[in-house]
Amino acid sequence: MTSTPSQGELSGRVAVVTGSGSGIGRAVAIELASAGADVLIHTGSQRQNAEQVADEVRKLGRRAEVLLADLAEHDAQEQLVLDAWNWRQGVDIWLNIAGADVLTGERSKMDFDAKLELLWRVDVVATIRMSRLIGERMRQRGGVAGAHTIINMGWDQARYAMAGDSGEMFAATKGSVMAFTHSLAKSLAPQVRVNCLAPGWIRTAWGEQASDYWQARAQEECLLGRWGTPEDVAQAARFLASPAASFITGQVLEVNGGAGSASESVRSAS
């Protein structure tokens, strides 16, 4: 049964959430729909999962569409932006949540160089290219200052540092996204607001299977004494996308329960 359409703070807005077939992206898509937005669901290959997310969005009374695109490829990045824009003749909110998973599954067995190359193509290059493409469309569309918004995905420990292979590759890639966010906000002002979320210890697929050591470390390094959830990140994304954040741009918002203040640990994440 489909509910009556939400009249929330994002009512009438069109949002695109990359990487929304699972994890943080899924939570963000559903959160934005609960705030009233129509949502385009993107996935690299998990069509069945993405269709389930789209069904959840529709149950909230909002429109939803699913698009597949391999964000490691330039042509696919450009096509996604074009198709997303054409879906509802415009996009108000664009979230670059998609990232290459190199910590679980077969990709976790790749060597450092292969992981770094994949992360660079998906997490960095795709974010930069799609943000520029959609941002220019938003800028040309005009409207009141800050009416459109782009939200990128960083990592809190790109600021605080973590030793080891994983710490190094994620610091390099997510740190690049965070720095890019500051510059793009200046390039697209005042029509488009650009911000970045920097999650900390969030219990996604890797966190669910992490060893006892990592389970304890995640809680010890957080002032609130717990793992974060995808929903914690989604609620922060909803705020940044909303009119309540209309005077916020060029910022990196850490969603980590105060982890940076709780510990300066540089133990290996390899």
Best CA proximity match to 173, nearest among 246, 224, 101, 122 = 122
Which pLDDT belongs to residue 268?
A: 41
Task: State mean pLDDT over 171-193.
Answer: 97
Q: Which residues contact 158 (CB under 8 A, 6 or more apart)?
A: 170, 171, 174, 175, 178, 198
Task: State mean pLDDT over 115-123.
Answer: 96
Indicate the pLDDT class of residue 261, thresholds 50, 70 and 90.
low
Q: Mean pLDDT over all residues of the chain?
A: 90
Q: Is residue 7 part of a domain?
A: no
Q: What is the pTM of this model?
A: 0.90
Q: Inter-axis angle of helices 74-87 and 126-141, to 10 degrees? A: 30
Q: Is residue 85 part of a domain?
A: yes
pLDDT at 177 over 80: yes
Instruction: With beta carbons less than 8 A apart as the criterion, state whether 199 and 233 touch.
Output: yes
Instruction: With beta carbons less than 8 A apart as the criterion, state whether 35 and 242 touch.
Output: yes
Supply the CATH number for residue 205's domain.
Answer: 3.40.50.720
Q: Is residue 6 part of a domain?
A: no
Domain extent, residue 230, equals 14-262
Q: Inter-axis angle of helices 165-188 and 112-119, to 10 degrees? A: 20
Q: Is residue 206 part of a domain?
A: yes
Rg, Å, the chain Cα set: 18
Q: Which of 34-38, 48-52, 168-172 has the lowest mean pLDDT?
A: 168-172
Indicate the pLDDT class of residue 25, thresholds 50, 70 and 90.
very high
Q: Is residue 3 part of a domain?
A: no
- 75 vs 45, more confident: 75
Q: Is residue 269 part of a domain?
A: no
Which pLDDT belongs to residue 265?
A: 43
Instruction: With beta carbons less than 8 A apart as the criterion, state whether 197 and 28 touch.
Output: no
Which pLDDT belongs to residue 4?
A: 55
Q: Is residue 255 part of a domain?
A: yes
pLDDT at 267 over 60: no
Beta strands (DSSP E) in 37-76 are: 38-43, 64-68
Q: Is residue 270 part of a domain?
A: no
Q: How many domains does the chain have?
A: 1
The residue behind tokens 């914690």 is 232
Residue 176: CB atoms within 10 A of its CB come to 19
